[in-house]
Amino acid sequence: MPISLVEGNSLLAIDVGPSTTRAVLFDVVEGVYRFLAAGQARSTAEAPYKDIGLGIREAIERVQNITGRVLLDPQRRLIVPTQADGSGVDAVVATVSAGSALRIAIVGLLAEVSLESARRLAESTYGQIVERLSLNDRRHPDEQIDALLRARPDLIIVTGGTDGGASHAIQQMLDIVGLACYLMPNERRPAILFAGNSSLAENVQELLAPLSSALRISPNVRPSLDTEDVSPAMHELAHLVNLIRRKQLNGMEELAGWTKGHLLPTAHAAGRIVRFLSRLTGASSGVLNVGLGASSAHVLAGFDGDLCLRVYPQYGLGENLATILHQIPLDHFMRWLSLDISESSMRNAIYQRVLYPSIIPATPEDRSIAQAISRQMLYLAIQAARRDFPENAPVLRPDLMPRLEFLFASGGPLTDGTTPGQNLLLLLDAIQPVGITQVLLDRYNVLPLLGVAASWNAILPVHVLESGAFQNLGTTVSVVSDAHYGTPVLRVRLRYEDGNEARLEIRQGALETLPLTVGQTARLSLQPLRRADVGFGPGQSKTVTVNGGALGVVIDARGRPIPLPADPVRRRELFQKWLWTLGG
């Protein structure tokens, strides 16, 4: 691994997503690593191609066209390492989120304890829970075995028992899992992750290794009844998911050979960077990364090194929309519309997106519908993830989001708005952050690539994070106040580097902006009124340094949670006003 800038080598990072494959080239420029170019192509994991290698090569060819650097030889083989004529690349890393959601069965002892740990572990990867077994299960053992056989899991996660504790009960659950696997055809046997009582590791190896497609044993997620640590198990789970995908996706073996082991599930790789950044922000605030695509939504929240990683296939913008529409009223989607659109048009648009999840909005009405759907699905994902945020997350009130210093957004629905203002308003509406937050768009899905690149070169992610690879929308100040609409709740003074000042008095319900361009910094003085809170306590004033962005400094005093009017006409008027404030 390079240990200094002098020894810095070029790196090709590949991200294979469900709908888009990206290739990103990093290299040393003037002594530091830089994001040089990105190429993207349609992913080819599904029919009619069923080979991720085709999409990868097309994305690499687009990087070649942008940079003029030859990366593939005439036979379309990757050139590694860099040659004397400047062609090729020194190393390759990759992340993968393509492929259908894994079918996961979780097994534990107590439904409220070890099975909940198994649930959190399962939700940290690209899968859906299809069966649950625990001591609370009233089915007979033969019925539980039949349930596992019907579920046809790709992966079984087994937890339960404290280290050094009783082992008889968990052994019973292991016998059920073993019998179910024994009855499955060899080609259908699932991979198994055991994250329970560590004293049973040898028994588990002896019993389940011959009956599974792959077996990994991790440290206990519940070493004691009051202690939970899923991080080591998440690491083992990531490697197990890679093994499963190598059997499911054509081209994965070749990609694994290119990367020499630097290959991770996309969400797991992004979690590395979120955890790293949260250590830098400390205990006073956290880091959030959200993503939304056709196949899933993900929410990664880091607070002082503790990570909550959640992947939700049910909140993707594809086929799962139809299921969501049967679970929640259509009004929950309609409330986010900025234009007058009928219920039938909204419902038809949702079902059309089920069939064609990658459809591009062609009219203002289409765009309003697409953004309303994205708002609602991201809102649902955030609400689901919040229940699992670390206990040390700094909250102003239990019903609100914790304080966030950085918010990264990825995925076309969140980053491809017509204007930066549309992107920011969508994020503010769906996430509803509090306090002072810097909002950045990850248009090329660079964040997870930096996470996997860190194991190859720890310097590269630091340089790229500071290089402007992300679009900085600006700094938001979200006010928490119970004041009546129109009541002054905050006085703001922004002092620029040239000595000029801008002052505003913010009223409850308002959304205001102050200009501060990209690359500029300024001193922002906040004086809350009537015990309003901007993240430092009710009525507490403070002066902080803020960074500029595409929208400068945005003051959001609309309320938390945002009180949307019941009258649809008034609601649409407000959305239009907010959009106009943020540049349309």
Report the alpha-carbon distance of residue 46 to residue 28 in Å, rounded: 36
Euclidean distance between CA atoms 233 and 236, whole angstroms:
5
One-letter identity of residue 415: T
Is 519 in contact with 563 (CB distance < 8 Å)? no
Residue 210 DSSP label: G
Cis peptide before 81 (omega within 30 of 0): yes
User: Packing angle between helix 568-581 and helix 420-431, nearest 10 degrees?
Assistant: 130
Contact residues for 489 (Cβ-Cβ < 8 A; gap 6+): 479, 481, 483, 506, 507, 508, 528, 529, 530, 532, 557
Residue-wise pLDDT for 464-504, tens only, equals 988 878 999 999 999 999 999 999 999 999 999 999 999 99
Structure letter (DSSP) for residue 86: S
3-state secondary structure of 330: coil
Q: How many CA atoms lie within 13 A of 322 on its CB side?
A: 10
Mean pLDDT of 396-417: 93
With CA atoms as reference, report the closest residue to 309 among 328, 327, 288, 324: 288
Instruction: Please check the confidence at residue 1 and state whether its pLDDT lies above 80.
Output: no
Three-class SS state of 410: strand
Please choose, from the candidates 450, 381, 402, the residue with its C-alpha nearest in 3D space to the C-alpha of residue 303. 402
CA–CA dist 519, 106 (Å, integer): 48
Torsions phi, psi for 388 (to 5 deg): -110, 10
Beta-sheet strands, E only, within 177-296: 191-194, 214-217, 263-265, 286-292
Confidence of residue 285 (pLDDT cuts 50, 70, 90): very high
Q: Are strands 20-29 and 191-194 parallel, antiparallel or unpaired?
A: unpaired
Band of pLDDT at residue 569, cut at 50, 70 and 90: very high
**Residue entry with tokens 């509090």:** 434
pLDDT on residue 8: 63
Look-up of token digits 């579920």: 151
Distance, CA of 190 to CA of 215 (rounded, Å): 9
pLDDT above 50: residue 3: no
Average pLDDT, the chain: 93
pLDDT of residue 555: 98
Residues 16 and 45 sit within 8 Å (Cβ to Cβ): yes
Instruction: Name which of 321, 325, 322, 299 is nearest 312 in CA terms.
Output: 299
Question: What is the per-residue pLDDT for 6?
Answer: 40
The backbone torsions φ and ψ at residue 95, rounded to the nearest 5 degrees and listed phi first, read -125, 150
Structure token pair of residue 483: 């004041």
Q: Is 473 helix (H, G, I), strand (E, B) or coil?
A: strand
pLDDT tens, position by position, 53-101? 999 999 999 999 999 999 999 999 999 999 999 899 999 999 999 999 9
CA nearest neighbour of 321 among 297, 354, 293, 352: 354
In the Cβ-directed half-sphere of 546, how many Cα atoms lie within 13 Å?
A: 34
| Chain centroid, CA 160 distance in Å | 28
Q: What is the pLDDT of residues 372-405, one digit of tens each?
A: 999 999 999 999 999 999 988 999 999 999 999 9
Domains and CATH numbers, the chain: 5-96 (3.10.20), 102-248 (3.40.50.360), 269-581 (no CATH)
Q: Is the pLDDT of residue 5 over 50?
A: no
- CA 458 to each of CA 88, 453, 463: distance values in angstroms, whole numbers, following the listed order: 22, 7, 10
Q: What is the pLDDT of residue 225?
A: 82
Chain Cα centroid distance, residue 329: 26
Q: What is the pLDDT of residue 7?
A: 57
In sequence order, what DSSP letters do the residues of 236-266 get, joined into one string? Answer: HHHHHHHHHHHHHSTTHHHHHHHHTT-EEEH
**Which tokens is 174 given?**
């292991």
Residue 59 amino acid letter: A
**pLDDT-derived band at 2, boundaries 50, 70, 90:** very low
Q: How far apart are CA 539 and CA 530, in angstroms?
A: 7
Tell me what percent of the residues of the chain surpass a pLDDT of 90. 86
| Separation CA 183–CA 453 (nearest Å) | 41
Q: Give pLDDT, residue 185.
A: 95
* C-alpha triplet 420, 492, 284: angle, nearest 5°: 75
So what's the pLDDT on residue 165?
78
Give the tens place of pLDDT for each residue, 138-150: 999 999 999 999 9
- Arithmetic mean of pLDDT, 163-169: 82
pLDDT in tens, 207-260: 999 999 999 999 999 998 888 999 999 999 999 999 999 999 999 999 999 999
Question: Do 553 and 560 meet the contact criterion of CB atoms below 8 Å apart?
Answer: no
Pairwise CA distance, residues 501 & 522, whole Å: 9
- One DSSP character per residue, 356-388 reads -TTPPP-SHHHHHHHHHHHHHHHHHHHHHHHTT
pLDDT, tens only, 433-457: 999 999 999 999 999 999 999 989 9
Residue type, 350: I
* Three-state DSSP state, 574: helix
Residue pLDDT, tens place only, 325-373: 999 999 999 999 999 999 999 999 999 988 888 788 889 999 999 999 9
Looking at residue 153, its pLDDT comes to 97
- Measured CA to CA, the distance from residue 577 to residue 493 in angstroms comes to 23
Residue 432: pLDDT band (50, 70, 90) is very high
Residue linked to tokens 């969501």: 324
pLDDT average, residue stretch 32-40: 93
Average confidence (pLDDT) over 162-176: 88
